[in-house]
Every structure is written in C-alpha cells, then in structure tokens.
Amino acid sequence: MLSFVMGQDWAHTEAKRVAERCTTLNKSIALFECGFGPSGLPHLGTVSEMVRTRMIQQALKDLGLDSRLILFADDLDALRKVPENVTGDSAIYLASMLGVPVCDIDNIWAPYHGYAPSYAEHNIQELVKLLRACRFEEHRDYELVRSSTMYRTGMFNEMLRDFVFEARAENKVKEIITRDFGINNDRNRKESYCQFLPLRKDASGIVRTTFEVFNWDIYFSPEAEPFLFGNDAEGPLDVYTMNGDVKLQWKADWPMRWMAFGVDYEMHGKDLIGSAQIGDEICQVFGHPAPLHMTYELFLDADGKKISKSKGNGMEPWDWLNYAPYESLEAFLKLDPSQQRRIGWTLIPVQVDEYLNRVGSTLPRYQMLLNLAGITNTSDARVLHLYVQKYFDVDWDTPVYNAMLHGAVRYYEKFILPTKVYRPATDEEKFVLRDLLHCLDHLPYVCRPSNLSFKEVDMKDVRSAIYDCGKRHYPGKELKNFFAMLYQVLMGQESGPQISEVVEKIGLDNFRDLVERAMV
C-alpha cells in the first residue's frame, strides 16, 4: 500500500499542543472527541473530523503519548425537520415525529437497509460502515457513545446536578448562552431560555421535547431539592434520578460532555466557532479546563459555492469511495484544514491524480483510466486492466490501483457514458474507414534488438498513415472534419486525444476492432 508522509505538518503542530496540555494536566492518555447528529445520514464533515483527528493521534504517538477517541452520537436530540432524502409515507411519518428524540423514532429504512431498532440507530450504523471503509474499527480505533445511553442510565446525572446547582446559585451558564439574544430585541427569548430541556410524553404516549417558558422562581422552589423542577400536572421532573427525563440544550450539552469525559481536544467547523467559545466559557464557570480546538474551513462545491444538502450540490463520503481509493480522500483531508477546498464529481479525477503525484506513485493516472474507458467504451474493470498492462507493470491486486480501476469504470458509467452519442457512419465515411484499415494493415513491422521474433509497428508510421488517409479524403482545411468524424463515429464524442495516441493506448488490433464495428 502506498504511504503518504508529509513530515512536520498541521497534524504534528496540533499534536504538540495536545502533548503540552497533557503535561500540564499530568495526563498519560489524551482524549479526543468527535460528534455525530444521527437525525440524518452521515456526511463528509463527520468523516473529515474522524480522519483528521486520527492524523493528530498518529502524530501524537510519534511524540510518545497514547490517546483515545470518542465518537459521540447525539441520538437523544429531537427531530427538527424531515430530511430532504425522505419522501412518501416515510416523510409523512417523520413529519408526525417532529420534536421526538431520534432514538425513539421507528427505523423508516427497515427492512430494505437492515434491521436497526430505530431511525437514529440506522444512521449510526451507516456511519459505522462508512468509517470501516475508511479503515476505522469500532473498539479498536474509537469508542461509540450514544447520548441516549448516557442520559437514560444516569451516567450524566452528576453533571446535570452540578448544572442545576449552578443555575440556582448564580445562573452564569444562562447568562453566557443568552448574552447575544437581545441584539435583535428578542428579550422574551432571553428571559425564557432554560438550558434544561424536559422530555415528556404527549397525550398519545410519545416522548417529545417540551419547549416551555421557564419561570425560575416557580421551577426552583425553596422547599424542593435543588435538582427538582417543574410544577405541571404530571409533577416535578427529577434531574438527578429520573434518568432521561431531562437533557441539556446544545450549547450547554456540548461543554457538559467535555467535562464529563475529560475531553482534551475536539475540532469543529467554522460555523460552530460561537458555540465552541460559549462552551469554553461554561467550562470556566465550573473550574474545568476547556479542551483544545482546531477550526476547519467548510467544503465548497466545484463552482466554489458553499455545500448545501437542500440545494443538492453536496458530495457524500460514499460518493468519493465509490469512484476513488480511500487513500486519495485521506490525502485530500490531510491538506491544511484552514484553507477552503472544493470538492465534487468533476474534481475527483484531478484530486486522485494530485494524490498520486504527491506520493510519487508509478501507477497509471486516473485520467488515463477514464480515457481508456471512454475510448474502448468498457465498463469492465478487468478489460480496462488488460489495456493498462500494455504500458504498466502493475498487479491487479494492488489495493490502490484496484480501487482506481473499479472507481474509473463506475465514474465512466455515471458521468461520461450518458454524454456519449455514437453517430452512424455514412456510406462515404465507411469508404474512408475501409481505406484507413487498409493503410494500417500494410504498415511495416519493426523488430526490437532484444527480441527479433517480436514484431510491432512504429507509432511514427501509424501517425503518418492516419494523416495520409485523412489528407486523401479531406484535403486542406477539411482535415479537421476527418478527425471529428473519427471521434464521433468511433468514440461517441466531439473531441479527444490524438488518434495516434488512442492507437498507442489501446493497441493497433483493438483500434482496428473499433473501426470495423463502425463500418457495420
């Protein structure tokens, strides 16, 4: 497998920061965290965080320090909207589940895509499969932690109690979170905000997030224990013992996890800079060291526009892995995260070849594979491999190369083949093609000094024969029409590489087959 070594890059810089923190805190194992919201299928952001975090872990290991990685799934969060990729009866069902924790929603994909017990669990397992394709193994490389498990088994109760005590005493957490709420004269929102989010059953028995206006004088009565609040008909909610009836809202929940687990490092996109800063301040309220962060730029589409699922200009991780080897994705993600990167279908061939160039690979380039697939009109990876073997001594089982072969034929089928329009040759053109075959059949053979019994044609002779044939039938400025005819009739496209290069890439016999098929 190809290796990719960049030396002292951003990952090593971040690793040094983590090492210094662990020395200060007297920790022998650094803890990293990445988050995933399973209200939808996994996206490139989650994968990029996991892959980039692993790069820092590897650099940290070079410094002699071990680490752990927690992948935290926010499956207790409520469903806010129906995902764009859900339609029909499933969309109607999800619309009725708005406000319900995603871990309590039925799996709308079963039985077609497995038998996960819930909508959230299906999306989590899809992420696990995706991470496995990215060389991550659960338990070995990361620990998967679910929010529903942590809350409903009481593992967050101690932290919740601390938040309740702080709220009753000074409520600095609320002050930090709502600091900017009044900017747009939204004073009611600021006054009514509560970092605690009750989860209560509605009339039909379904647990939903309760967006209530909280009155702290009522909800924290002097007679009640400080971790009791609520005075509705169902009775008070017990933050400490009634597990899973209450969770923290996002901007409080995030730093709570940092403190509960002792997180040392978590990266995030620039869209979460504000939330991360608020989280750091909340950690200070509790006298807990905030984790280190790295802010990365968000991805752009091929046209330089911000990727948006609702606009349909995004690209999912499986898309990349379906058309290109994982190593090329890893190399792409290893580039400076503080710089904006374009990513999209049309950029995959470029990005794969940039990776091969960067590592000094001797493998054929991805664009060459696409050219071969287009010239020969093949969707068979093994057939493509036979053409490649004419010029490269590469084994079929070479992992990166094999992934490129299969990816290239899929790419060809998806993006190139639909654009091809093979124009039938006219009778006059068939006469020209017959003459071209005659010229090629009478080329002189040359013998290699190292093997006098092996005969082949000289490509200079091939080039001359093609041009001579074209000049006879398309004199003067009309010669360009000769080559346009060959592209349209033989390859189903308007232009392409020089015809002599086509012959060189696929071999004279295979090129003759293309011409003969066009004459039928």
Tell me how far apart the alpha carbons of residues 417 and 405 are, in angstroms, rounded to a whole number.
16
User: Is residue 304 domain-resident?
Assistant: no
Same domain, 405 and 453: no
| Of 415, 437, 444, nearest in space to 490 by CA | 437
Question: Measuring CA to CA, how many Å separate 279 from each of 71, 194, 265, 497?
Answer: 18, 16, 13, 56
Write down the pLDDT at residue 183.
Answer: 61
Q: Say yes or no to pLDDT of 31 above 60.
A: yes
Same domain, 443 and 497: yes
Lowest mean pLDDT across 118-122, 137-141, 322-326, 415-419: 415-419
Write down the pLDDT at residue 206.
Answer: 84
pLDDT tens per residue across span 348-395: 999 999 999 999 999 999 999 998 998 888 889 999 999 898 888 999
Q: What count of other Cβ atoms lies within 10 Å of the Cβ of residue 485?
A: 21
Alpha-carbon radius of gyration of the chain: 31
Q: Which residues pair with 34 in a beta bridge?
A: 71
Q: If you ran DSSP here, which 8-state letter would residue 347 be given?
A: G
Listed in order, strand segments (DSSP E) in 249-298 are 268-269, 295-296
Same domain, 30 and 177: yes
Residue 316 confidence class, pLDDT cut points 50, 70, 90? confident
φ, ψ for residue 232, nearest 5 deg: -85, -175
CB 355 within 8 A of CB 3: no
By percentage, how much of the chain surpasses pLDDT 90? 59
**Omega before residue 349 within 30° of 0, cis:** no
Report, as an integer, the average pLDDT of 286-303. 93
Same domain, 285 and 406: no
Same domain, 410 and 490: no
User: Is residue 90 domain-resident?
Assistant: yes
DSSP 466-491: HHHHHHHHS-GGGHHHHHHHHIIIII
Which residues constitute the domain of residue 397?
317-419
| Residues 6 or more apart in contact with residue 323 via CB below 8 angstroms | 348, 407, 408, 410, 411, 414
Residue 175 confidence class, pLDDT cut points 50, 70, 90? very high
3-state secondary structure 175-229: HHHCCCHHHHCCHHHHHHCCCEEEEEECCCCCEEECCCCCCHHHHCCCCCCCCEE
Write down the pLDDT at residue 114.
Answer: 67
CB 462 within 8 A of CB 515: no
| Of 230, 246, 263, 303, nearest in space to 143 by CA | 263
Same domain, 407 and 459: no
Which of 296, 330, 355 finishes a domain?
Answer: 296
pTM confidence score = 0.86
Scored b (16 or more CB within 10 A) or e, 284-316 reads ebeebbbbbbbebeebbbeeeeebeeeeeebbe
| Cα angle: 226, vertex 254, 155; to 5 degrees | 55
Report, as an integer, the average pLDDT of 86-97. 93
CB 199 within 8 A of CB 245: yes
Which of 386, 419, 452 finishes a domain?
Answer: 419
User: Is residue 23 domain-resident?
Assistant: yes
Write down the pLDDT at residue 258.
Answer: 98
Report, as an integer, the average pLDDT of 61-88. 94
User: Is residue 55 domain-resident?
Assistant: yes
User: Is residue 311 domain-resident?
Assistant: no
pLDDT tens per residue across span 428-469: 999 999 999 999 888 887 655 544 444 577 889 989 999 999
Report, as an integer, the average pLDDT of 116-132. 95
Same domain, 191 and 87: yes
| Identity of the residue numbered 461 | D
Report, as an integer, the average pLDDT of 38-54. 93
Residue 326 confidence class, pLDDT cut points 50, 70, 90? very high
Q: Say yes or no to pLDDT of 492 above 60.
A: yes
pLDDT tens per residue across span 212-271: 544 554 455 555 554 445 545 455 566 555 577 788 999 999 999 999 999 999 999 999
Same domain, 260 and 373: no
Lowest mean pLDDT across 43-52, 268-277, 457-466: 457-466
DSSP 26-71: T-SEEEEEEEE-TTS---HHHHHHHHHHHHHHHHHHHTT-EEEEEE
Using the structure block, give the residue that is written with the tokens 């002599």: 500
Q: Say yes or no to pLDDT of 142 above 60.
A: yes
Q: Say yes or no to pLDDT of 85 above 90.
A: no
Write down the pLDDT at residue 503.
Answer: 87
Write down the pLDDT at residue 312.
Answer: 56
DSSP 5-28: ---S-HHHHHHHHHHHHHHHHT-S
Tell me how far apart the alpha carbons of residues 66 and 27 are, in angstroms, rounded to a whole number.
10
For CA atoms 249, 250, 255, 261, give the dihedral sign. Answer: positive
CB 77 within 8 A of CB 40: no
Report, as an integer, the average pLDDT of 14-18. 98
**Sheet with 196-201, side-by-side order of all strands:** 207-209, 196-201, 246-248
| Residues 6 or more apart in contact with residue 196 via CB below 8 angstroms | 163, 164, 167, 214, 229, 239, 246, 247, 248, 249
Write down the pLDDT at residue 454.
Answer: 44
Q: Provide the residue count of the chain.
A: 520
Residue 508 confidence class, pLDDT cut points 50, 70, 90? confident
CATH code of the domain in which 168 resides = 3.40.50.620
Domain count, the chain: 3
Same domain, 31 and 75: yes
Q: What count of other Cβ atoms lies within 10 Å of the Cβ of residue 506?
A: 20
When the pLDDT of each residue in the chain is averaged and rounded to a whole number, the result is 87
Report, as an integer, the average pLDDT of 508-515. 87
Write down the pLDDT at residue 227.
Answer: 47
User: Is residue 308 domain-resident?
Assistant: no
Write down the pLDDT at residue 432.
Answer: 95
Report, as an integer, the average pLDDT of 1-5. 37
Same domain, 105 and 167: yes
Same domain, 133 and 232: yes
User: Is residue 307 domain-resident?
Assistant: no
Write down the pLDDT at residue 451.
Answer: 46
Same domain, 258 and 114: yes
| Of 493, 497, 471, nearest in space to 482 by CA | 471
User: Is residue 309 domain-resident?
Assistant: no
Q: Say yes or no to pLDDT of 11 above 60.
A: yes
Residue 6 confidence class, pLDDT cut points 50, 70, 90? very low
CATH code of the domain in which 489 resides = 1.10.10.350
| Of 251, 239, 258, nearest in space to 158 by CA | 239
Of residues 336 and 199, which shows the higher confidence score?
336
